[in-house]
Amino acid sequence: MNSYTKKIKDTTYTVTLFNAVTGLTIARKLSSILAATKLSYTIDISETVDKLIEFDSDLSLTLDLLSNTIVDGKAIERENFNQLFTGKLGEYVEILMFVVETNFRDFFSTIKSQVEKFQAIEKTDLAE
């Protein structure tokens, strides 16, 4: 699997890409949040993460997203989440954005492209 590293302040994070099944499952959940908030696929990664933080009250999706992330040699899990991010909520947001961008950039850009094509066809059909 491909892994990507990001250093935030003094902390090194390593994000490993999700396999296709896990990635698609999580992408579907993210899409549901976007649909529920009436946001389109034209929004950027920061808006996606903002809505995730707002709607993921039990942190289950957040922890799913961070499940393939290693911080200073430790996997991010519910049990160590507080230890890793207390006083570092800015880092939490930054690594969450990195995880979403690394794993789902092509998914959301492809969806956006397909939606735009569908809208163009729909406009053409309505004009006829």
Task: Render pLDDT for 92-120 as a digit per residue (tens, 0 to 9).
Answer: 999 999 999 899 888 776 666 555 665 56
pLDDT range class, residue 33, cuts 50, 70, 90:
confident
Burial of 128 (0-12, 13-18, 19+ CB in 10 A): exposed
pTM: 0.77
Give which of 90, 72, 77, 96 is closest to 13, Cα–Cα: 72
pLDDT in tens, 17-28: 999 999 999 988
Catalogue the E-assigned strands of the chain. 3-8, 11-16, 69-71, 74-75
Section 6-10 average pLDDT: 93
pLDDT in tens, 42-54: 556 677 788 888 8
Section 59-84 average pLDDT: 94
Spell out the residues 6+ positions from residue 48 whose beta carbon is closer than 8 angstroms to its own. 30, 33, 34, 39, 100, 108
pLDDT beyond 60 at 4: yes
pLDDT beyond 60 at 8: yes
